[in-house]
Amino acid sequence: MSQVASGAEIVEGPRLRARSMVSGFPSKYGYPLVGIMILLAVWWFGGWLIATNDDLSAFADFAPGPTFAALIDLIRSGDLTQTIVSSLFRVGAGLLWGFAIGVPVGILIGYVLVAMRVANVPFQFLRMISPLAWMPIAVLAFETWDSAIIFLIVMATVWPIMFSTSHGVKRIDPSWFKVAKNLGASGTQMVHRIILPAIMSDVMAGVRLAVGVAWVVLVPAEYLGVTSGLGYAINDARDTLAYDTLAAIVLVIGVIGYLLDTVCGVLVSRFNWHQKD
């Protein structure tokens, strides 16, 4: 599989090289850095506007200075780690369930035409319901707050994973089965060497989408009864008027979300064998 990746790079090669001859460093780090600087500048400017406005000066702690100070405090006290771990645990569990349900069902509806026809309308219908709309039902149906939150995340992750998986299965070239059978593949070898690698890039693309949605859904879901996690921390900071902490948590949510997406992006390209246009 690593060879596939290197092959893809060869296809990309000339274009990347051509660009990097003009500007090697900027294209990789420079441009993102400029983007970050602009964001910080806007933030700082907003903070300055708030601070200089008498009506709003109570919110001056949203500015970068107090925020980073609060962030350092959060990290030092160890509270932040605890908060992040609880949140990641919920997202991870929700994702795992979404994967465990989404992949097999996706394979089924991708492979069996009748299953697709039967499932299409109900699944498209369910998919369009915001996972947060299940909140009251989740609270009634589950004993613990944690499982209710995980349920909401499953409702967010299962659809993208399911639909990408079935898309991947539909893209399998039937002649691969013929060739593999001809080369003497057993049933398990067929699954392991042909079917799974063939659909893996689509499955991972689904996982990437799912992680994005799950992370977005997580914060409001954690407004529910729990007393840990990033969503709870935001709520708590608001109630205690700790706006610097609130801003620090928002910052952390953004950074972790970005990192999660980056990791998924790496996984997607690791498993991707589709030709780049």
Partner 1 sequence: MSGSISVDFVGHQFSETAEIVLADIKISVKAGQLVSLIGRSGCGKSTLLHIISGLLTPASGCVRIDGKTVTKPSAKWNMMFQKASLFPWMSVQENVGLGLKFSGASKGQIAQKTHELLELVGLKEKAQDSTQSLSGGQQQRVALARSLATSPSVILLDEPFSALDTFTRSALQQDVAAICKQKGITMVLVTHDIDEAVMMSDRVFVMDQNPGRIIDEIKVDLAWPRKHMSQHFQRIREDLLTAFKGTEKTESFRALDGSRYKAKSSAA
Q: Minimum CB separation from partner 1 for residue 274, in Å?
A: 8
Q: Minimum CB separation from partner 1 for residue 12, in Å?
A: 11
Q: Minimum CB separation from partner 1 for residue 182, in Å?
A: 5
Is 13 an interacting residue with respect to partner 1 (CB under 8 A)?
A: no
HSE-CB for 72 with a 13 A CA cutoff = 5
Contact 266, 94 (CB under 8 A): no
Residue among 30 and 197 whose Cβ is closer to partner 1: 197
Is 3 an interacting residue with respect to partner 1 (CB under 8 A)?
A: yes
Q: Minimum CB separation from partner 1 for residue 271, in Å?
A: 8
3-state secondary structure the chain: CHHHHHHHHHHHHHHHHHHHHHCHHHHHHHHHHHHHHHHHHHHHHHHHHHHHCCCCHHHHHHCHHHHHHHHHHHHHHCHHHHHHHHHHHHHHHHHHHHHHHHHHHHHHHHHCHHHHHHHHHHHHHHHCCCHHHHHHHHHHHCCCHHHHHHHHHHHHHHHHHHHHHHHHHHCCCHHHHHHHHHCCCCHHHHHHHHHHHHHHHHHHHHHHHHHHHHHHHHHHHCCCCCCCCHHHHHHHHHHCCCHHHHHHHHHHHHHHHHHHHHHHHHHHHHHCCCCCC
Is 137 an interacting residue with respect to partner 1 (CB under 8 A)?
A: no
Identify residues 255-274 at the interface with partner 1 (CB under 8 A).
Answer: 271, 273-274
Is 188 an interacting residue with respect to partner 1 (CB under 8 A)?
A: no
Single out the residue of 98, 111, 101, 104 nearest to residue 171, CA to CA: 111
Number of shown-chain residues binding partner 1 (CB under 8 A): 30
Residue among 9 and 65 whose Cβ is closer to partner 1: 9
Is 183 an interacting residue with respect to partner 1 (CB under 8 A)?
A: yes
Q: Minimum CB separation from partner 1 for residue 173, in Å?
A: 6
Binding mask 162-181 for partner 1 (x = CB under 8 A): -----------x-xx-xxxx
Is 186 an interacting residue with respect to partner 1 (CB under 8 A)?
A: yes
Binding residue for partner 1, selected from 198, 216, 251, 256, defined by CB under 8 A: 198
Q: Minimum CB separation from partner 1 for residue 176, in Å?
A: 6
Identify residues 84-113 at the interface with partner 1 (CB under 8 A).
Answer: none
Chain positions contacting partner 1, by CB under 8 A: 1, 3-4, 6-8, 10-11, 173, 175-176, 178-186, 189, 193-194, 197-198, 200, 271, 273-275
